[in-house]
Structure 1
């Protein structure tokens, strides 16, 4: 199944709140010739657009190939949360990578948030960064752990932007009776994700990059002069960057064995009474294994993501996401749902992104596991630096040992079903 076309109309953004509230880029022409470039980037999401921008700034001739439209994939459909650190906590990173690399990975995560903010400001993007993300816990034991972890970050990493919340303090902000407490990360934030992707694309074009939309890559041949073939053209280059994340398909087997696509879904309600869901402009992600995440839109809608999916075809999205939304906010049972959309992201077994050189002249970064707004943007810059011969951040991520999924790409869909069933059961049992 080609996930590029399994659930979407070619060349059309999904019917999302984001697409309805963003000004699309003028269509960029498909590639219909054979040519050469210094660097070819496959995928026009955060990773690819950031790589193109930073390469073009360095004077490289860079061409971006996108099967649909700029920001069409996860970059234009996600929850918009710009998280600090890595996808897993520092305790796990220290066990996995040692204290020195764990510290460097933490710093890299902080650098990623700073990069997003700097790009928004430098290029005057129409997606202001709103600071603050709440981690909301369902169980008292989780609250104790969250508060202890906030204290550890302050003590051992000098990070003093975590504000502990008990049940009463959290419920002053989040009008949901089930949460027992949590923390606010004031260093994290949230943005309009599609506007951010479009802002990156405009900045890359202004810097001299070329983008070809409606250009499906059919084959990549590595070597001293790697070649990228498309439906109607081809490009030879010095370097190829794979930046398609969950939509990479079968273009590279090494990456496919370690990066698994999964679907996620978001609904947007009608505009709600101010303060009836959130009393402050903060985003929220909770402690469930199948995470619920939400925030308010500029016009007062609840944007709520979550729900379970056991295959790659989209389900009834409203029914899928409305159920967990009402578990969190039972008083919204009469709220109208105005938008519903899904998209494909990618995970790894460790939940850390996979950086690799999967062929001669080929670099890849993907598998952000729901933490991609900041990390994918930084990954693009790290890929650009690696092409230019400065690969410190790329090599730091590439040193992480990420195991393949058992059975490789062939068994990813059955594994997805088993994993979602297991995690859903854990949520229901509260373990």
Structure 2
């Protein structure tokens, strides 16, 4: 039996969704997709629209991993400046990647509109500055965006920020009308419904235990095998040790959220009058928004060790109260977490294991949007249009340092430096 979705505000407010059967026996299809998160589901939709038969195998439930637990924030661009990417790949390829990141948001909004996905999609976003250095960084970032022709941002001062969010913590920020928010689990469930209406077969509770990446690829489970012409691996942080050759290029990182009790419409609006999503720009950042039922959803803190803190609720609440002491009388109804996959250079990792087997993962905090375009690129390369996929696959991805059991401690030590930089 598949595990239920992790207890969260998202799970408690999820749209109705039927339980799908596990694979029972052997099947064949044009394409077999491993993982029913955003990447796998968008890939399946794009392929089905092109006339391909698709089977999706999910170890738990649709959207069970990061796709159903994340902060729900749709963020412009990548986790690295385009200028940095240009230093790796040249201006032409970096410009194409920027254009693809903008296409991602168009694909996402088109999926929501076309398939009538009820996921509270809203636009408007603030990158908030806690110190003068942050303001300088945001001005540089805005200048780069303007140089790319992106005209949806504007710098805001302390007074205007205070009209958007009721905290004195920020010196100012960068408002982005082209970033936004949604209910992540409902978006995933809506993608699954859309895929099935196009003929995609989705099996839940069906963990893939082995793959064949040869000329006639296949995915093997405890209850059957799917044979296909192409195989797509879309497990992200939950792919585990299925493919050791790419496992070292990503690191599962735990991230956490809390949800308050219902604040009431007036109090929720006074806290966040602009009803936008907000994040600061610390390396270990805090992010938050208000919910449709007038709660405050606050995310922050990460664990690179793979171990959750036993006092997680208290710690997250304490962080929230540093910025919003007026919430000291408010109870916390929800606390949850999950794993996202990061890469060493903080850009998505796409590639081929063989001429018949492709993968995409490691979105490094920008997966809500970028999974949409990566799903399209996977569909393109499978149908013989490899140009755009190949540019994305050129992003340089080194393995995380440290062999075997030393890999995680090495990352923890590296991240400690960034935590200290945030504090200082």
- Which residue number in structure 2 is paired with residue 204 of structure 1? 195
| RMSD of aligned alpha carbons | 1.5
What is the DSSP-based 3-state SS (H/G/I as helix, E as strand, rest coil) of the residue aligned with 1:37?
strand
Candidates 122, 143, 162, aligned match of 2:135: 143
**Equivalent of 2:3 in 11, 29, 48:** 11
- Measured after TM superposition, the shift of residue 331 of structure 1 is 2.1
After TM superposition, the score normalised by the length of structure 1 is 0.94
Match of 1:390 among 367, 385, 391: 385
Contact map agreement 1:258 1:408 (CA 8 A) in 2: no
> Residue 41 of structure 1 corresponds to which residue in structure 2?
33
Q: Which residue of 2 is the match for residue 271 of structure 1?
A: 262
Q: Deviations over 1:194-242 (max 9, x none)?
A: 1110111000000000000000111112101112111211111111100
Q: CA deviation at 1:96?
A: 2.0
Contact 1:244 1:366 in 2 (8 A): yes
2:278 paired residue among 284, 307, 311: 284
Which SS does the other structure have where 2:271 is aligned? coil
CA contact (8 A) 2:280 2:286 kept: yes
Per the TM alignment, residue 94 of structure 1 is displaced from its structure 2 partner at its CA by 2.1
The 2-side partners of 1:421 and 1:32 are apart by 47
Shift of 1:73: 0.5
Shift of 1:148: 3.4
Shift in Å, 1:188: 1.0
Distance in 2 (CA, whole Å) between partners of 1:139 and 1:18 is 33
Query: What are the equivalent positions in structure 2 for 1:150-161 lying under 5 Å apart?
Result: 150-154=142-146, 156-161=147-152
Tell me which of 323, 341, 346 is aligned to 2:341. Answer: 346
Post-superposition CA distance 1:21-80 (Å, at most 9, x none):
112421111012122211110000000000111111111111000011001110011111
| Residue 174 (structure 1) aligns with | 165
CA distance in 1, matches of 2:387, 2:185: 29
Shift of 1:254: 2.0
The range that moved more, 13-22 or 315-324, is: 315-324
Distance of 1:304 and 1:428 partners within structure 2: 20
Give the alignment partner of residue 415 of structure 1, picking from 399, 410, 419: 410
Shift of 1:410: 4.7
Q: 1:18/1:55 Cα in 2 relative to 1: closer, same or farther (>3 Å)?
A: same
Conserved? CA contact 1:69–1:213, under 8 Å: yes
Separation in structure 2 between the aligned mates of residue 111 and residue 390 of structure 1, nearest angstrom: 17
Q: State the distance in 1 between where 2:114 and 2:186 align.
A: 15
CA drift of 1:88 comes to 1.2
Residue range with higher mean Cα deviation, 122-131 or 240-249: 122-131
| CA-CA distance at 1:361 after TM superposition | 1.6
Distance 1:408 1:363, change over 3 A: farther
Which one of the candidate residues 294, 298, 302 is aligned to 1:304?
298
Aligned residue for 1:108?
Answer: 100
**1:88 paired to 2:83:** no
Task: Assess if the C-alpha contact under 8 Å between 1:167 and 1:180 holds in 2.
Answer: yes
More off after superposition, 354-363 vs 245-254 = 354-363
Counterpart CA distance in 2 for 1:423 and 1:215 is: 39
Q: Report if aligned partners of 1:308, 1:424 keep a CA contact under 8 Å in 2.
A: no
> Once the 2 structures are TM-superposed, how far is the Cα of residue 408 of structure 1 from its aligned partner?
5.5
The answer on whether the counterparts of 1:308 and 1:420 sit within 8 Å (CA) in structure 2 is: no
SS at match of 1:326: helix
Runs of 5+ consecutive residues of structure 2 not aligned to the other structure: none
Match of 2:322 in 1: 327
* Whole-Å separation in 1 of the counterparts to 2:244 and 2:39: 19
CA distance in 2, matches of 1:137, 1:242: 38
User: CA 1:343/1:396 → structure 2, altered by over 3 Å: closer, same or farther?
Assistant: same
Unaligned runs of 5+ in 1: 1-8
Per-residue CA deviation, residues 321-344 of structure 1 (Å, 9 max, x unaligned), is 223212222222221111111011
TM-score by length of 2: 0.95
Counterpart of 1:276 in 2: which secondary structure?
helix
1:238 equivalent to 2:229? Answer yes
Whether the aligned pair in 2 keeps the contact of 1:226 and 1:360 (CA below 8 Å) is no
- Partner residue of 2:91? 99
> 1:218 matched to which residue of 2?
209
Q: Kindly tell me the number of residue pairs found equivalent between the two proteins.
A: 420
2:420 is paired with a residue of what secondary structure? helix
Deviation at residue 403 of structure 1 after TM alignment: 1.2
Q: Which of 144, 154, 176 is the matching residue for 1:163?
A: 154
The structural deviation recorded for 1:360 is: 4.3
Distance (whole Å) between structure 2 residues aligned to residue 198 and residue 419 of structure 1: 36
